[in-house]
Amino acid sequence: MFKRNFTKLNQAMGFQRSSDRQKVQPGISDVSSNERAPNSCHGAVSDDANYSSWMAEHPSALTSFDQMMKDAKGKKIVVFLDYDGTLSPIVNDPDRAFMSDEMRASVREVAKYFPTAIISGRSRDKVKGFVQLSNIYYAGSHGMDIMAPPRPARSSDGKYPTVVLDRKSNEAVFQPAQKFLPSIQKILKELEEAIMKIQGARVENNRFCVSVHFRQVRDEDYGMLEEKVKSIMKHYPDFRLGWGKKVMEIRPSIEWNKGNALEYLLDTLGLGNCTDVLPVYIGDDRTDEDAFKVIRKRGQGYPIVVASSPKDTTASYSLHDPSEVLTFLLRLARWRKASSSSRSLSQIWGVDMHEENLAYVNESFFGMMI
């Protein structure tokens, strides 16, 4: 048992052979069958060349890790993570997108040393049920449902008026799309009735947004599915329709996305106006681009895209798949543990932090470890 666990740990820390890297499972590609490249040697060589060229512009966060941490010395890192395709593999059944025990342990370890939040398109309760950790913060519905510290945002000035205190958890719940809930329920009902006869199509209630999954829909049925969804949405001008990985996303037309959620969490943590904060955001989908753009605009931080093939992105770095995300998180925790083993909390977070901030960080992030 010890030998097997030790082997797993070695693999997670990045000491596995490249041939052992997690492969993309057949049948779960993000590209439909009519978009896939021909299965030929020439196509494979071309794909490899394109990916190598893309990697030159978006270098691996693993090979760049030492330089990234060298630049991060003396600064405060805050970690933000997408869920599907980042902490868990993309699967045909969205209800079975389980993260591994090793991934859960790595997120728990990172959260011991850094403020950590998961920002997902899933409902907050659903993603929390998948992750099952209490020492991190959760933002569901693409950031429209956030559970955060019960602390006024430094830079809010009335900017976040819809914050209420959750009595059970003693944390603040921020839900900027609250008024859209009745319409969302109507959309859910209409969609379920409209697509129930299309094999493989399914509707997911993510509370403040709705997902129409078509990963298991036949190519010849997709046009009909899209037409039905668009027909329904014509009657709801306050909502917009977008696309993710084999999913149509229906969201309220408000100026709020994962990038806004990242800014809100930084503000709530009292770090929004700090010039020595490095947000690390790891995600794989189009909706994560909003968070990447915020980090690029700040001029400090590490936007990291998870991609196994070239894609348009504003991310600065890349990771190939969730197995590399696991390795990166473990290295990040190990780096902080080594650098902070003989340092006090005030040294880790900077001597300029106020006493009340230190007390808050200590209570929130070190007192909730499980």
- CATH number, domain containing residue 326: 3.40.50.1000
Q: Do residue 267 and residue 350 come from a single domain?
A: yes
Contacts of 306 by beta carbon, 8 Å cutoff, 6+ apart: 82, 85, 86, 282, 283, 284, 318, 319, 320, 321, 322, 324, 325
d(CA 319, CA 126): 25
User: In terms of domains, do 197 and 296 share one?
Assistant: no
Domain contains 31: no
Q: Which amino acid type is present at position 327?
A: T
Q: Are 119 and 247 within one domain?
A: no
How many CB atoms sit inside 10 A of residue 63's CB?
10
The CA-based angle 10-14-15, given to 5 degrees, is 55
Tokens 């700040």 locate to 298
> By CB neighbour count within 10 A (0-12 exposed, 13-18 middle, 19+ buried), where does 344 fall?
exposed
Q: Could you tell me if 168 and 75 lie in one domain?
A: yes
CA-based diameter of the chain, in Å? 63
The last residue of a domain, from among 252, 275, 300: 252
Torsion angle of the four alpha carbons 140, 146, 149, 152, in this order, in degrees rounded to the nearest 10: 160
79 touches 117 (CB < 8 A): yes
Tokens 């993603």 belong to which residue? 127
Q: Which of 252, 285, 304 is the last residue of a domain?
A: 252
Instruction: Quote the distance between the C-alpha of residue 347 and its chain's center.
Output: 29
Model pLDDT for residues 244-264, shown as the tens digit of each residue: 889 999 999 999 999 999 999
What six digits make up the tokens of 216?
Answer: 């298991």
If residue 290 lies in a helix (H) or strand (E), which one and from where to where? helix 289-298
Domain count, the chain: 2
Could you tell me if residue 25 is inside a domain? no
**Domain identity same for 149 and 193:** no
Domain containing residue 139: 59-176+256-366
Please provide the DSSP assignment of 35-93 as one string: GSPPSSHHHHHHHHHHHHHHHHHS-BTTTTHHHHHHHHTTSEEEEEE--BTTTB---SS
- Whether residues 95 and 148 share a domain: the answer is yes
Same domain, 207 and 341: no
In this prediction the pTM is 0.75
- CATH number for the domain including 218? 3.30.70.1020
pLDDT for 185 beyond 90: yes
pLDDT in tens, 296-354: 999 999 999 999 999 999 999 999 999 999 999 999 999 999 987 645 444 444 433 34
Using the predicted structure, report yes or no on whether residue 118 has a pLDDT greater than 90: yes
Q: Select from 252, 284, 301 the last residue of a domain.
A: 252
Asked if 231 and 304 sit in the same domain, the reply is: no
Q: Is 291 found in the same domain as 356?
A: yes
Give 3 or 217, the one with higher predicted confidence: 217
Does a structural domain hold residue 242? yes
Contact between 294 and 259 (Cβ < 8 Å): yes
Write the pLDDT tens digit of every residue in 13-68: 443 433 333 333 333 233 333 332 333 444 444 578 888 899 999 999 999 999 99
